[in-house]
Chains A and B, each alone.
Chain A
Amino acid sequence: MSRKTLTNLILIVVLAGVVWGISQAQRASRAASLIKDLAQPDDYAAYRSLRKLSGLGPSAAARALRLLTDPQPYVRARAAILVGETRNPRYAAQVLPLLQDEATEVRMAAASALGSLGSPQATTPLLALVQDEQQPLEVRTAATRSLALLAAPEAVPALQKLLKLPPEEQNAPLREAAVIALGACRTAEAIKELRDRLRPDQESSVAVRTLAAEGLARAATPGSAEAGEVGRALLEALRDEASEVRIAAAHSLGQIFLPQDLSPTVTEALREALGDPHYWVREAAEEALR
């Protein structure tokens, strides 16, 4: 390599470094300005800043860490949301104290962010929040959704308890979040609870039965006896009066690895489902048979 070539290469590298440095400085300056905007009370204006900050990447979002202790609750909540978007478990420790915040919106945002950060150390505090009946339903729902993302097996009893809540409209999001979380846990107790939730005599909510059928698709070990039990429960759900449940059951039957002895029965049931009055049940059965 000649000296001239070397000089040129160095020049290019230096120039690239300068450009990168300037852009980083600009991003930092822009992030600092946007972080300030998070402090305004208007939720819509703050959301616009939040979106722009998210677009600047995790390093910009990390700048929100110092706002986690802001005196304004809505600022702390927005900061928690932004920190959650970094998906960096290292920040969990700074978010965890916010689960005890006096403002509902802060606890809710913190619970939500901890799921995104994916730190296992958040499981216990989140479980506590889920089980705390004094907490508003939105906070418990956010915590349950985060538990689903953490897929913590120890959460199963608490989730089972949530499903025992009366199936009223205000409890719907929490119960739905609980059944989704059970699907993520994949323990024997979780699978049994999901099978129970498939039965209309046990569960009146169509949405919960649908999510249970959906969650069972990947819950059991392929080809195991447990998978057989799941298959039989889904076969039963294929006759549910709610078309949404039948769609989910047919689709899950197509996903699950069933024991050999159950395959003919499932195939026959799916063929029968090809004559279902609902279009998407027929489509799901056809795909499952494929």
Chain B
Amino acid sequence: MDDTTRRQITWIVVVTFGLALIVYAGNQRSLVPRALDRLSRGTLAEQVEATRILVARGKVGEALKDQPRWVQTAAVKALLELGTPEAIQQLTEAVPVFDEPVGNWATAATVSFGRMAIGPLVECMQSRDGGVRAAAQGPLTKIGLTPEGGPAVIAALSPFMGAYDDFVRAGVVAVLAPLGKPAAPVAIRTLLQKTPGPDQTSAAFARAQDTAVEMLVAMKEPALEPIITQLVPHQREKLRATAALMLGRMAGPLGDKAGEIVPPLLRLIGDASWSVRRRAAWALGELREKGRQADILAALTLRLQDEPEVKAAAVKSLGQIASPTSAGPLVQTLLTNREGAIQELVVALTSLGPPALPALQTALQSPDAEAREAATEAVAGIGTPAAVPLLAGRLSDSSVSVRRIAAQALALQANASAVDALSRALGDSDPVVYGAVRRAFVRLGEEAVPPLIARLGSGDPRVALVASEALNAIGPRAVPALPAALRSDNGFTRDWAAVTLGNLGRPALAAVSAVLADGSAPVSSRAAAARALGRSRLPEAVAPLAQAAGAASPELRQEVLRALAATRQPEATTSLVAGLSDPALPVRLTALRLVKDWQVGDADKQLTALLRSGDEQTKRMAAVALAFHASPGITPLLGPLFGTPAAAAEGRAEIAPLLNAAVEDPAELPEVRRLALIGLAYGGNQQSVDVLVKFLTPDSPLAGLAARALGLLGGRMAEQEGPGSPLAAAARDRLLEVLEKTDSEALRLQTATGLSLVGGSAAPALLERLNTAPETIQPWLAAAIGAMGKPANDEAMRERGRERQSKEWASVAIMLIGNPESIKFLARLPQGEQPSAEKLAQARALYDQIMKVRAAPLA
């Protein structure tokens, strides 16, 4: 054969092979669609053939997913016709993908295959799909209920009792339990087995035993006979305990037949083993009210003297049976033998309900706090009206735990009978107790209002606060009785009534306004009403307060002004500003104190108008208020939002002379003078420097304020007019002069503080002065420069660079300023160029004093 022929043959073989592969793959891919088409349109034979193909490839479920109903119906029909075990398995596995009617039909039809379906259905029982498992269980049970199918189903499923998967074991129980008697021996045999089988792990053995228990319990009546005859009398303690457990679990499901479990359980409760007795005691409790039989109650009561575990089970069961006759023995156990069963006793006594109360009353008087605590808990759990007086009595118990339980129970159950005790308990020292008492009062509602109002005047702020909170929580229902409290002779009552009414807000507004407007009422009552309105912070509270601002009593007017300020409403501004013109000086002063911090509404506009229209003192007060409004703490923040305050604009020219005059006038009220002096810091002028300097004497009580005001004035001017501001220079020079000349250390501290407040603009002059100043002054100057902070850093660094006397002190100032880079720079210098530790310590001590003074508020 030549090469060409060989190559051609090779190509033919390769191409043929490739084509065959393509045809095969295409055929395989179209198998499922073709099968579905045949199911939809084919004859019965074609449909059966189509399903045969799907079954052979294990694709029944996958192919039928989301298929039309008629395809599903045809598939089920064909699978039933096919009738092989494999077809039955795949039919069951496809049930979850079928529409419900088709799925139901498929499940029902599977039963008709009888024993042939057992293998496939058991296979489906192990599926991870819950739908498949459910689809297998029903038919398996039905097949198992037939005479031929029963033993076969039991034999097929028994090996799965120890299966690892919970759902498989649950399925075994679900299928075998309904089979009843025929399946019981398998479960009993499993329980009787002592050790794992040859091919069984110990874990699988334990699981199989658990499954056996579940199966027998689910089996109910058919399981009774084998349990009673084979397990109850068994010599193995574990089996007797398991029997007791199963009988107890069957008590409820057995219904009317539950009486059958009593004799074996009464036998087991007298067992030699405590674990069997415990289970039997527990099981008898599962009979609930059916257990109200003398023999059962006697057997359980006897066990109250048993081991703690048995006793706890007996107590629990007596509670579940809830016979009134058990109250006495249970309370006796609580008092004398509660070890290991205290919670069970509480639950049991609670379950007995009101019949247990007489017996519990005895326990509540016990000298033993733990017994009282448990008894109180039981009474609380009973929760009937008859329990309330008992709980109220425990509010005065010496044990805080008892009081807590009682109070917390009353918070949910209180009635009128508990009011007095609750009222006393408001004074309890324990927060949990008085918190719960507060809730109890809230629960009582209107009934609680009079005692709560009475406690407002107790004189104990904590008691009054809790009573007030309770009244607030009661809400509008508390309003009608509260205004009378405003008229009380007891000041505490009035004050706390005002707090309460204020917190109640709008619902109390009319009643409180009426007290305020009542001219015949004592001033103290009307003042309390005013405080209530102020506390409410309501816009509607301003009108009655403004009206009362014209009252005859200055004390009331003062209170009204305070209340108006407390409302924080812009509408209050007019009345507050008008207070500055009040004929009574104390009222004016109150108004000044309030207005200087009041920047709500058009306060500045009204104050500026007052600069031109009031008497001299009123003008001065208005000027003070405006100066305060211009303080740097406010202006930088509010200025951009509300515009420049009047003091900084049109009123400046008028404010400074008024402030100067007020400060210099010895006849002026000391507080007005003091505030005016502070005001100069924000609203002063050139003349103010001389005014302030006059106070810089060692004997002046205002020296400190004057020095700081002068410093601030200078600093503000340097900021506004630049470092060359003449006013700033004047302030600096005057402060420097006093610092150098005075012998008073206190005055030196004040002036040094003032110098530090002038700021960075004063630094060059102070650094220059370091060259000539006496040794005693140099530390002060260095400390003042240090207190100026970062703005003085560059000047100090420059000064340090010059070869002058001040070099070392400049370095000290730099250390005090604390700029990290500058300090790093100094640290790198030779030792000789570093500031001496002595000088640094001396200046730092002064620096600390200056910073302390600066931190104190001016006003």
Contact A248:B81 (CB < 8 A) given known A43-B156, A105-B116, A176-B109: no
Contact A280 B69 (CB under 8 A): yes
- A42 lies within 8 A of chain B by Cβ: yes
Alpha-carbon distance A138/B74, docked complex (angstroms) = 21
Closest A residue to B105 using CB positions: A207
List residues 12-52 of chain A with CB under 8 A from any CB of chain B: 41-44, 46-48, 50-51
Q: Given B43, B80, B101, B116, which contacts A109 in the complex, CB threshold below 8 Å?
A: B116
The answer to whether the Cβ of A183 comes within 8 Å of any Cβ in the partner chain is yes
Partner of A42, one of B108, B116, B120, B159: B159
Q: Residue on B with the closest CB to A218?
A: B43
A142 at the interface (CB under 8 A from B): yes
CA distance A190 to B671 in the complex (A): 121
A43→B44 contact, CB < 8 A: no
Give which listed residue, B42, B48, B68, B105, contacts A283 with CB less than 8 A. B68
Contact A105 B114, beta carbon cutoff 8 Å: yes
Expressed in whole angstroms, the Cα–Cα distance for A180 and B75 within the complex equals 13
Point out the residues of chain B lying under 8 angstroms from A48, CB to CB: 119, 123
Say yes or no for A129: interface residue by CB 8 A criterion: no
B85 contacts A51, C-beta separation under 8 Å: yes
Q: A81 near B85 (CB under 8 angstroms)?
A: yes
Complex Cα–Cα for A74 and B119 (A): 12
Stretch from A143-151, A160-168, A231-239 contacting the other chain: A143-151
Beta-carbon contact of A214 and B122 below 8 Å: no
Are A210's CB and B122's CB within 8 A? Answer: no
C-alpha gap A251/B669 in the complex (Å): 108
Query: Chain A residues with Cβ under 8 A from B123's Cβ?
Result: 44, 47-48
- A191 CB to nearest chain B CB (Å): 14
A202 CB to closest chain B CB (Å) equals 21
Roughly how many angstroms separate A74 CA and B68 CA in the complex, as a whole number?
39
Is A127 part of the binding interface, using a Cβ–Cβ cutoff of 8 Å?
A: no
B41 within 8 Å of A by Cβ? Answer: yes
How does the 8 Å CB contact mask read for B67-104 relative to A, with 1 for contact and 0 for none?
Answer: 01110011001001111111000000000000101000
Interface residues in B652-684 by Cβ distance below 8 A to A read none
List residues 34-79 of chain A with CB under 8 A from any CB of chain B. Answer: 41-44, 46-48, 50-51, 54, 74, 77
CB of A228 within 8 Å of the partner chain = no
Interchain CB contact under 8 A, B1 and A47: no
A152 adjacent to chain B (CB < 8 Å): no
Q: A41-B155, A148-B44, A210-B73 in contact; A51/B116 too (CB < 8 A)?
A: no
Closest residue of chain B to A281 (Cβ to Cβ) is: B69
Docked Cα-Cα span, A283 to B44, in Å, equals 23
Shortest CB-to-CB span from B80 to chain A, Å, is 7
Residues of A within 8 A of B48 (CB): 149
For residue B118, which residues in chain A have a CB less than 8 angstroms away from its CB?
Answer: 43-44, 47
Residues of A with C-beta under 8 A to B73: 210, 214, 244, 247-248
- A1-B1 contact, Cβ under 8 Å, with A214-B70, A218-B43: yes
- Cβ of A211 within 8 Å of any chain B Cβ, yes or no, is yes
Given contacts A105-B114, A105-B116, A138-B112, contact A44 B122 (CB under 8 A): yes
Q: A81 to B117, alpha carbons, bound, how many Å? A: 12
What A residues does B101 contact at CB under 8 A? 244
A176 to B109 Cα, complex, angstroms? 9
Does B152 touch A at the CB level, under 8 Å? yes
B81 and A247 within 8 A (CB): no
Query: Is the pair A47, B119 in contact by a Cβ cutoff of 8 Å?
Result: yes
Complex formed: what's the CA distance from A177 to B70 in Å?
17
Tell me if A104 counts as interface (CB < 8 A to partner B): yes
B113 at the interface (CB under 8 A from A): yes
Q: Which residue of the partner chain, among A84, A105, A176, contacts B148 with CB atoms under 8 Å?
A: A105
User: Cβ of B43 and Cβ of A184 under 8 Å apart?
Assistant: yes
Interface pair B156/A145, CB less than 8 Å apart: no
> In the complex the two chains form, is A180's CB within 8 Å of B84's CB?
no
- Is A276 in contact with chain B by the CB < 8 A criterion? no
Query: A48-B119, A280-B68 given as contacts; is B159 within 8 A of A2 (CB)?
Result: no
Chain A residues lying within 8 Å of B85, measured Cβ to Cβ, are 47, 50-51, 81
A256 to B102, CA, bound (A): 23
User: Interface digits, A169-198 against B, CB 8 Å rule (1 contact, 0 not)?
Assistant: 000111011001001100000000000000
Bound together, the chains give a CA A244 to CA B122 distance in angstroms of 30
Are B115 and A43 touching (Cβ within 8 A)?
A: yes
Is there an interface contact between A44 and B68, defined as CB atoms closer than 8 Å?
A: no
Identify the interface centre among B74, B77, B80, B105: most chain A CB within 10 Å of its CB: B77
User: What chain A residues lie within 8 Å of B155 (beta carbons)?
Assistant: 41-43
Contact between chains at A54 and B86 (CB < 8 Å) = yes
A173 and B152 form a contact (CB under 8 A): no
* Cβ B120 vs Cβ A180 within 8 A: no
Contacts A112-B116, A173-B112, A283-B68 given; does A44 touch B44 at CB 8 Å = no
User: Which A residue's beta carbon lies closest to that of B102?
Assistant: A244
Q: Do B45 and A180 have beta carbons less than 8 Å apart?
A: no
CA distance A53 to B44 in the complex (A): 27
Please determine whether A141 and B41 come into contact, CB atoms closer than 8 angstroms.
Answer: no
Q: Is the CB of B84 within 8 A of A81?
A: yes
In the complex, A54→B116 CA distance in Å? 15
**What's the Cα separation between A130 and B837 when bound, in Å?**
122
Contact with A251, one of B70, B122, B148 (Cβ below 8 angstroms): B70
Q: Which residues of B contact A81 (CB under 8 A)?
A: 84-85, 116
Residue of A nearest to B126 (CB): A44
CB <8 Å contact, B74 and A214: yes
Contacts of B41 in A (CB 8 A): 255
Assuming the A-B contacts A284-B68, A284-B70, are A173 and B77 also in contact, with contact meaning beta carbons closer than 8 angstroms in the complex? no
Instruction: Find the A residue at minimum CB distance from B43.
Output: A218
> Is there contact, CB below 8 Å, between A145 and B83?
yes
Q: Give chain B nearest CB distance to A278 CB in angstroms.
A: 9
Residues of A within 8 A of B74 (CB): 214
Point out the residue from B82, B99, B105, B112 that lies within 8 Å of A141, measured CB to CB.
B112
Contact in complex: B69, A247 (CB < 8 Å)? yes
Contact assessment for B109 and A138 in the assembled complex, using a CB-CB cutoff below 8 Å = no
B34-72 near A? 1/0 per residue, CB < 8 Å: 000000111111001000000000000000000011100
Instruction: Judge whether A115 and B116 touch: CB under 8 Å.
Output: no
Question: Bound state CA distance, A77 and B44, in angstroms?
Answer: 26
Q: Note all chain A residues with C-beta closer than 8 A to B156.
A: 42-44
Within the assembled complex, what's the spacing in Å between the Cα atoms of A2 and B103?
Answer: 66
Known: A104-B148, A151-B44, A176-B109. A115 touches B81 (CB 8 A): yes
CB distance from B407 to the nearest CB of A (A): 62
**Which residue of B68, B83, B122 contacts A43 across the interface (Cβ within 8 Å)?**
B122
CB nearest to A47 among chain B residues: B119
A85 at the interface (CB under 8 A from B): yes
CA distance A124 to B114 in the complex (A): 24
Which residues of B sit under 8 angstroms from A5, Cβ to Cβ?
A: 1
| CB–CB A105/B122 < 8 A | no
A108 at the binding interface (Cβ < 8 Å):
yes
Contact B80 A177 (CB under 8 A): yes
Residue contact B44 to A180, C-beta cutoff 8 Å: yes
The CA of A30 and the CA of B535, in the complex, are separated in Å by 97
- Contact yes or no, A211 B77, CB < 8 A: yes
Chain A residue nearest to B146 in the complex (CB)? A138
- Residue among A74, A177, A218, A287 making CB contact with B115, cutoff 8 Å: A74
Q: Say yes or no for A123: interface residue by CB 8 A criterion.
A: no
Contact A43 B152 (CB under 8 A): yes
Minimum CB–CB distance for B162 against chain A, Å: 15
Binding site for B on A (CB under 8 A): 1-2, 5, 41-44, 46-48, 50-51, 54, 74, 77, 81, 84-85, 104-105, 108-109, 112, 115-116, 137-138, 141-142, 145, 148-149, 151, 172-174, 176-177, 180, 183-184, 207, 210-211, 214-215, 218, 244, 247-248, 251, 255, 280, 283-284, 287
The 5 closest A-B pairs by CB, nearest first: A47-B119, A173-B112, A280-B69, A43-B118, A44-B122
Binding site for A on B (CB under 8 A): 1, 40-45, 48, 68-70, 73-74, 77, 80-86, 99, 101, 105, 108-109, 111-116, 118-120, 122-123, 148, 152, 155-157, 159
Given A43-B155, A46-B119, A77-B115, 5 additional A-B pairs, CB 8 A: A1-B1, A44-B119, A84-B84, A85-B84, A105-B116
The contact sample of 7 A-B pairs, CB cut-off 8 A, is A50-B85, A105-B115, A149-B48, A151-B44, A244-B101, A248-B70, A283-B68
